């Protein structure tokens, strides 16, 4: 058996491979001492055993898109890099579909489509690795139609380290070590072991085609009344009409960029439940809601959202009063979404169970139009994604570790910039915005967070935010306040009693 | 366990020579301007109430002169030059992250008072540190994180402050006791005399370890098994560096092993003495300490209200019972021997008292006892004598 490729600081590749994509975490003092590049599960097992036996801490990387420093903050430790572990066919899989942790989502879409004509309802960024994405639940543009990726998951192959420090390869499913299997269905990466394969008995057929459309709004002429009305019209759709199954093929994102960017916008993708676009009325109905606010027709996403590429201008057509793009699904899914972005970044998230209140919309307006002397807030976005639909099948909360099954919108607060000198000002603005927004409709003891209640459903573990660690109740933000977190703690005690796999937001047993 | 065929027997002459070397080493780190203005003794006590207590000692009368806040101090150490006090804070979370901390306090050479010099977080997951060891030259601080199952090694700067961990060692292991030994629990650390090796006991995995200290990093060189369900706990290295003594807490035995400092080999077990009672039972607190002369070993068990003194055979390192000192209504949890060998102190972590026992400085034989201080839940004690 060949060994993993070991990258040490004297290797020319080390400077590149030790880094996080998010340059906020580019701290040499906290860097791992080695990177083990694994092409097979056997290599990963051998490397993991070496790492554990040497008293090093392993952290796991598939695509390297972790928002926090879970992987790269590993002083003196070892990164187990699975980005070369991309095999998709393996003897014994039978009819199952296999996804390997090192596959990028774009590769997964291409492979599943070309081989089988199926897909997974996962994220829209081409280069995100399957390993971290799926263990954290995995959602994307097709999730309202088909649910979360882990809702379809049938089995997981995972390397665990037993209580004596020995590495073992397990294949877990609903009948074999079902607790560990459930924990891998949304509990989050870097907690229980090293996933070397995801297996699916069945997957949804990929849509034949989709339509995309974009609206944008001019910040320079925007009033607070108009802004709040747009935001609430968006939320109202998902709170009411968006619950109807015929709309589940509609996914929309309201990209609320900071006013300094000039415009904000709405981008959407649509298909009928059968994966075709014969009846566009639900989409038109949605777009109609915003006519009174004087939208500008945008050729592509005005919010910088890469999920809705303008791939094929020839495919534009007029539907009613709207210019839309009709694209074959793979074109819409792959085209342009692989944009590599590496710089400094910060993220926060929330799940919303109801439409925005007027006070929330006003709060967003206040902060998105606020200027801070000496602080450039371009690159700041509050992205409001439609949610719910098939995701909200309540029974799936019991068999997965994705507990948020009542939300209609999912928010991702994002900031991107280049220079370390901007860190403090930008982060302070973002924290103030978030804290202000989530101090209105929560109990005072949970102020500053979307703590689960009648309005909110916490945060998404694949959008981890270290700021939440200031709250003793941070696990309840990500895994709810019911029995999921205690369940995950039990799995952690059983399968990783020595806490070999840990990062700052891992399950604390 | 490997047998140690190269180890030499310790002799009194070698010990005195080694001790003199240590004093010279300490003086190297103490500039003339830092020599204390007066010869005073001070005692520093870590209290479970979340504070450090400073006592001035005159004629065995302890006067409390300061109380300094400190989160869950579990173990305290003095730098060789006695200018800095180090504290292991047995906490699970620091600034929202799962990790303990160590603190460094400057000691005022004139009045013994403490001033916080700095607080350094342990590595991620290094929770609940309970024990530490300083290298003989005072330049490295090793910390055993009982909760998280890690060892951290810290460099010490010239001013006594603690740097970032230079080495992080993640332990893995378990024992047969489902609750108490579900994972590794590094318990006690000891540097050998030359500082090239670090010895440790792991309560959770039933193992002892020897680490080589190489370029401020730890590399495990051996990990002998101490016995199924033994639960290695408090341990100490003989001043001559040739015998390693350890409580096996879970099986309630006291053992000693041969050790060769030149090769860093922990050799065969020389002796194992079983005590009646809590074999295989719950984790109880057992302590041990050695007299500076190397002639006497002292032990306590929290379940017994007595201090036991064990005479050490100079040739073999084995121990034999010499004397019990009855400690009325006491739950002894920790022992500290004064550097001059004239006293030892027994901490009662339950009732909150410190008992002084006089000791013959040449033989280590215990004498009269007296309660010298009341401190809530005393965890650790050190004495500043220079």
Helix axis angle, A358-369 to A423-437, nearest 10°: 170
Give the tokens for residue A391: 């995701």
CA distance B230 to chain A (A): 16
**Three-class SS of residue B322?**
strand
Q: Domains, chain A, ranges and CATH?
A: 5-81 (3.30.43.10), 97-205+488-495 (3.30.465.10), 209-472 (3.40.462.20)
CA distance B96 to chain A (A): 5
Q: What integer pLDDT is reported at residue B329 of this predicted model?
A: 84
Exposure of B80 in the CB half-sphere (CA atoms within 13 A): 23
Name the DSSP letter for residue B339.
T
Q: What integer pLDDT is reported at residue A92 of this predicted model?
A: 54
**Among A residues 75-114, those touching chain B with beta carbons less than 8 Å apart:** 75-77
Contact between residue A213 and residue A267 where contact means Cβ atoms under 8 Å apart:
yes
pLDDT tens, chain A, 509 aa long: 789 999 999 999 999 999 999 999 998 889 999 999 999 999 999 999 999 999 999 999 999 999 999 999 999 999 999 999 998 765 456 668 999 999 999 999 999 999 999 999 999 999 999 999 999 999 999 999 999 999 999 999 999 999 999 999 999 999 999 999 999 999 999 999 999 999 999 999 999 999 999 999 999 999 999 999 999 999 999 999 999 999 999 999 999 999 999 999 999 999 999 999 999 999 999 999 999 998 987 655 555 555 665 545 556 777 777 889 999 999 999 865 545 556 899 999 999 999 999 999 999 999 999 999 999 999 999 999 999 999 999 999 999 999 999 999 999 999 999 999 999 999 999 999 999 999 999 999 999 999 999 999 999 999 999 999 999 999 999 999 999 999 999 999 999 999 999 999 999 99
B182·A163 Cβ contact <8 A: yes
A498·B184 Cβ contact <8 A: yes
A52–chain B Cβ distance below 8 A for any pair: yes
B167·A76 Cβ contact <8 A: yes
* A470 to chain B: closest CA residue: B96
A504·B98 Cβ contact <8 A: yes
Alpha-carbon Rg for chain A in angstroms: 22
B92, B97, B122, B125: best mutation site toward chain A, by most A Cβ within 10 Å? B125
B168·A502 Cβ contact <8 A: no
Q: What integer pLDDT is reported at residue B60 of this predicted model?
A: 77
B170·A474 Cβ contact <8 A: no
B192–chain A Cβ distance below 8 A for any pair: no
**Among A residues 286-345, those touching chain B with beta carbons less than 8 Å apart:** none
The DSSP secondary structure of B26-66, one letter per residue, reads HHHT--GGGS-SS--EEEEEEETTTEEEEEEEETTEEEEEE
B220·A497 Cβ contact <8 A: no
Cα–Cα distance measured from residue B171 to residue B150, given in angstroms and rounded to the nearest whole number: 5
CA distance B97 to chain A (A): 6
Nearest to B172 among A165, A466, A470 (CB): A165
Cα–Cα distance measured from residue B268 to residue B260, given in angstroms and rounded to the nearest whole number: 11
Cα–Cα distance measured from residue A487 to residue A507, given in angstroms and rounded to the nearest whole number: 10
Cα–Cα distance measured from residue A432 to residue A371, given in angstroms and rounded to the nearest whole number: 13
B282–chain A Cβ distance below 8 A for any pair: no
* B126 to chain A: closest CA residue: A499
Decide if pLDDT at B23 tops 50.
Answer: no
Q: What integer pLDDT is reported at residue B7 of this predicted model?
A: 35
A502·B98 Cβ contact <8 A: yes
B149·A29 Cβ contact <8 A: no
* B186 to chain A: closest CA residue: A498
The DSSP secondary structure of A195-258, one letter per residue, reads EEEEEES--PBPPSEEEEEEEEEEGGG--HHHHHHHHHHHHHHHHTGGGSGGGTTEEEEEEEE-
Exposure of A54 in the CB half-sphere (CA atoms within 13 A): 16
CA distance A497 to chain B (A): 6
Q: What integer pLDDT is reported at residue A312 of this predicted model?
A: 53
Q: How far is CA B342 from CA A299, A359, B26, B338, B347, in A?
A: 88, 73, 21, 6, 17
CA distance B378 to chain A (A): 29
Going by C-beta distance under 8 Å and a sequence separation of 6 or more, which residues neighbour residue A84? Answer: A5, A37, A38, A39, A102
Say how many CB pairs under 8 Å bridge A and B: 69
Decide if pLDDT at B173 tops 80.
Answer: yes
Residues of chain A contacting residue B149, judged by C-beta atoms under 8 Å apart: 498-499
* A475 to chain B: closest CA residue: B96
The DSSP secondary structure of B71-105, one letter per residue, reads SSEEEEEE-TTSSEEEEEE--SEETTEE--EEEEE
Write the pLDDT tens digit of every residue in B309-357: 999 999 999 999 999 999 988 899 999 999 999 999 999 999 999 999 9
B110–chain A Cβ distance below 8 A for any pair: no
Q: Residue B378: count other Cβ atoms within 10 Å of its Cβ.
A: 27
- Report the b/e string of A150-189 with b at 16+ CB within 10 A: bbbbebbbbbbbbbebebebbebeeeebeebbbbbbbbbb
B173·A497 Cβ contact <8 A: no
CA distance A276 to chain B (A): 49
Q: Residue A392: count other Cβ atoms within 10 Å of its Cβ.
A: 18
B91, B92, B124: best mutation site toward chain A, by most A Cβ within 10 Å? B124
Cα–Cα distance measured from residue B131 to residue A369, given in angstroms and rounded to the nearest whole number: 53
Q: What integer pLDDT is reported at residue A305 of this predicted model?
A: 59
A502·B220 Cβ contact <8 A: no
Instruction: Give the DSSP H/E element, type plus range, for residue B18.
Output: helix B12-28
Q: What integer pLDDT is reported at residue B1 of this predicted model?
A: 34
Going by C-beta distance under 8 Å and a sequence separation of 6 or more, which residues neighbour residue B94? Answer: B100, B101, B121, B122
Show the 3-state SS of A339-378: CCCCEEEEEEEEEECCCCCHHHHHHHHHHHHCCECCECCC
B100–chain A Cβ distance below 8 A for any pair: no
Cα–Cα distance measured from residue B344 to residue B290, given in angstroms and rounded to the nearest whole number: 10
Strand partners of residue B349: none
A500·B172 Cβ contact <8 A: yes
Nearest to B182 among A493, A503, A508 (CB): A493
Q: What integer pLDDT is reported at residue A383 of this predicted model?
A: 97
Decide if pLDDT at B35 tops 90.
Answer: no
CA distance B84 to chain A (A): 26
The DSSP secondary structure of A405-441, one letter per residue, reads -S-SEEEEEEEEES-GGGHHHHHHHHHHHHHHHTTSS
CA distance A354 to chain B (A): 30
Q: How far is CA A96 from CA A92, A186, A205, B110, in A?
A: 9, 20, 14, 76
Cα–Cα distance measured from residue A236 to residue A242, given in angstroms and rounded to the nearest whole number: 9
**Three-class SS of residue B221?**
strand
Grade residue B30 by pLDDT with cuts at 50, 70 and 90: very low
B183–chain A Cβ distance below 8 A for any pair: yes
Locus of tokens 């005159």: B58
Alpha-carbon Rg for chain B in angstroms: 19
Q: What integer pLDDT is reported at residue B276 of this predicted model?
A: 84
A492–chain B Cβ distance below 8 A for any pair: no
B176–chain A Cβ distance below 8 A for any pair: no
B171·A498 Cβ contact <8 A: yes
CA distance A478 to chain B (A): 15
What's the gap between Cα A286 and its chain centre? 25
Give the tokens for residue B113: 């008072």
Grade residue B142 by pLDDT with cuts at 50, 70 and 90: very high
Locus of tokens 């009368």: B61
CA distance B171 to chain A (A): 6
Provide ipTM, 2 decimals: 0.91
Q: What is the largest CA-CA distance in chain A?
A: 67
Q: What integer pLDDT is reported at residue B336 of this predicted model?
A: 97
Contact between residue A385 and residue A251 where contact means Cβ atoms under 8 Å apart:
yes
B182·A497 Cβ contact <8 A: yes
Name the DSSP letter for residue B267.
E
Decide if pLDDT at B113 tops 90.
Answer: yes
Cα–Cα distance measured from residue A392 to residue A243, given in angstroms and rounded to the nearest whole number: 10
B167–chain A Cβ distance below 8 A for any pair: yes
* B173 to chain A: closest CA residue: A164
Write the pLDDT tens digit of every residue in B194-243: 999 999 999 999 999 999 999 999 999 999 999 999 999 999 999 999 99
B182·A77 Cβ contact <8 A: no
CA distance B246 to chain A (A): 22
B170·A500 Cβ contact <8 A: yes
B167·A52 Cβ contact <8 A: no
Q: What is the largest CA-CA distance in chain B?
A: 55
């Amino acid at each position: 058996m060949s060994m993993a490729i070991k990258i040490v600081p004297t290797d020319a590749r080390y400077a590149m491979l030790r880094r996080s994509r998010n340059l906020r975490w580019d701290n040499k003092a906290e860097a791992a001492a080695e990177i083990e590049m694994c092409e097979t599960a056997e290599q990963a097992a051998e490397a993991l055993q070496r790492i554990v036996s040497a008293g090093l801490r392993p952290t796991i990387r598939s695509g390297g898109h972790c928002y926090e420093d879970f992987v790269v903050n590993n002083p003196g430790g070892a990164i187990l890099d699975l980005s070369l572990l991309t095999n998709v066919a393996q003897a014994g899989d039978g009819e199952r579909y296999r996804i390997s942790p090192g596959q990028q989502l774009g590769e997964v879409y291409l492979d599943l489509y070309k081989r089988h004509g199926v897909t997974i309802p996962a994220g829209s960024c081409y280069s995100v690795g399957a390993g971290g994405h799926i263990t954290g639940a995995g959602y994307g543009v097709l999730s309202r139609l088909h649910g979360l990726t882990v809702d379809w998951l049938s089995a997981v192959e995972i390397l665990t380290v037993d209580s004596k420090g020995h590495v073992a390869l397990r294949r877990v499913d609903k009948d074999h070590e079902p607790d560990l299997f459930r924990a891998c269905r949304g509990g989050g990466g870097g907690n229980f072991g090293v996933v070397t394969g995801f297996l699916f008995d069945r997957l949804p057929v990929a849509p034949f085609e989709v339509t995309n459309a974009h609206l944008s709004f001019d910040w320079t002429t925007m009033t607070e009344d108009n802004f709040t009305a747009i935001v609430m019209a968006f939320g109202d759709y998902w709170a009411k009409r968006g619950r109807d199954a015929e709309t589940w093929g509609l996914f929309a994102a309201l990209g609320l960029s900071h006013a300094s960017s000039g415009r904000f916008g709405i981008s959407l993708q649509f298909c009928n439940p059968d994966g075709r676009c014969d009846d566009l009325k639900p989409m038109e109905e949605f777009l109609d809601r915003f006519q009174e606010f004087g939208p500008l027709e945008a050729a592509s996403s005005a919010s910088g959202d890469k999920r809705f590429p303008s791939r094929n201008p020839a495919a534009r057509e007029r539907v009613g009063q709207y210019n839309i793009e009709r694209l074959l699904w793979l074109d819409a899914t792959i085209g342009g979404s692989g944009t590599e972005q590496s710089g400094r970044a910060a993220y926060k998230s929330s799940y919303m169970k109801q439409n925005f209140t007027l006070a929330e919309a006003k709060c967003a307006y206040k902060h998105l139009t606020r200027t801070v002397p000496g602080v450039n807030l371009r690159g700041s976005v509050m992205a409001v994604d439609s949610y719910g639909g098939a995701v909200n099948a309540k029974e799936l909360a019991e068999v997965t570790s994705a507990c948020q099954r009542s939300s209609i919108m999912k928010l991702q607060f994002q900031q991107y910039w280049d220079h370390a000198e901007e860190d403090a000002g930008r982060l302070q603005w973002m924290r103030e915005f978030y804290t202000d927004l989530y101090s209105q409709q929560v109990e005072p003891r949970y102020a500053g967070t979307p703590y689960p209640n009648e309005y909110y459903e916490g945060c998404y573990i694949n959008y981890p935010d270290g700021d939440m660690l200031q709250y003793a109740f941070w696990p309840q933000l990500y895994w709810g306040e019911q029995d999921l977190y205690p369940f995950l703690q039990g799995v952690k005690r059983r399968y990783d009693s020595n806490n070999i796999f840990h990062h700052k937001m891992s399950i604390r047993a | 366990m490997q047998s140690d065929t190269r180890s030499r027997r310790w002799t009194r002459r070698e010990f005195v020579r080694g001790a003199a070397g240590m004093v010279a080493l300490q003086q190297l780190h103490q500039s003339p301007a830092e020599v204390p203005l007066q010869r005073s003794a001070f005692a520093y006590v870590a209290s479970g109430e979340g504070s450090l207590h400073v006592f001035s000692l005159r004629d065995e009368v302890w006067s409390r002169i300061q109380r300094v806040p400190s989160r869950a101090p579990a173990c305290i150490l003095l730098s060789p030059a006695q200018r800095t006090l180090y504290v292991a804070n047995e906490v699970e979370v620091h600034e929202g992250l799962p990790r303990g901390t160590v603190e460094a306090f400057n000691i005022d050479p004139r009045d013994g008072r403490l001033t916080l010099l700095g607080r350094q977080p342990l590595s991620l997951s290094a929770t609940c540190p309970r024990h530490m060891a300083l290298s003989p030259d005072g330049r490295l601080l090793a910390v055993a994180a009982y909760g998280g199952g890690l060892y951290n090694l810290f460099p010490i700067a010239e001013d006594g402050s603690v740097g970032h961990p230079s080495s992080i060692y993640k332990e893995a292991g378990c024992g047969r006791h489902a609750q108490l030994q579900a994972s590794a629990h590094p318990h006690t650390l000891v540097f050998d005399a030359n500082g090239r090796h670090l010895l440790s006991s792991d309560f959770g995995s039933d193992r002892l370890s020897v680490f080589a200290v190489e370029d401020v990093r730890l590399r495990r060189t051996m990990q002998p098994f101490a016995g199924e369900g033994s639960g290695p706990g408090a341990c100490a290295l003989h001043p001559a560096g040739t015998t390693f003594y350890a409580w096996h807490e879970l099986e309630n035995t006291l053992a000693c092993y041969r050790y060769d400092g030149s090769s860093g080999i922990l050799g065969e077990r020389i002796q194992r003495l079983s005590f009646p009672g809590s074999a295989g039972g719950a984790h109880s607190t057992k302590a041990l300490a050695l007299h500076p002369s190397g002639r006497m070993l002292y032990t306590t068990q929290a379940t017994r209200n007595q201090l036991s003194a064990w005479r050490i055979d100079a040739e073999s390192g084995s121990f034999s019972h010499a004397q019990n000192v009855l400690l009325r209504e006491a739950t002894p949890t920790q022992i500290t021997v004064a550097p001059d060998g004239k006293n030892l102190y027994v901490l009662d972590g339950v009732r909150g008292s410190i008992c002084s026992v006089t000791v013959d400085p040449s033989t280590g034989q215990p004498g009269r006892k007296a309660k010298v201080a009341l401190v809530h839940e005393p965890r650790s004690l050190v004495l500043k004598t220079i």
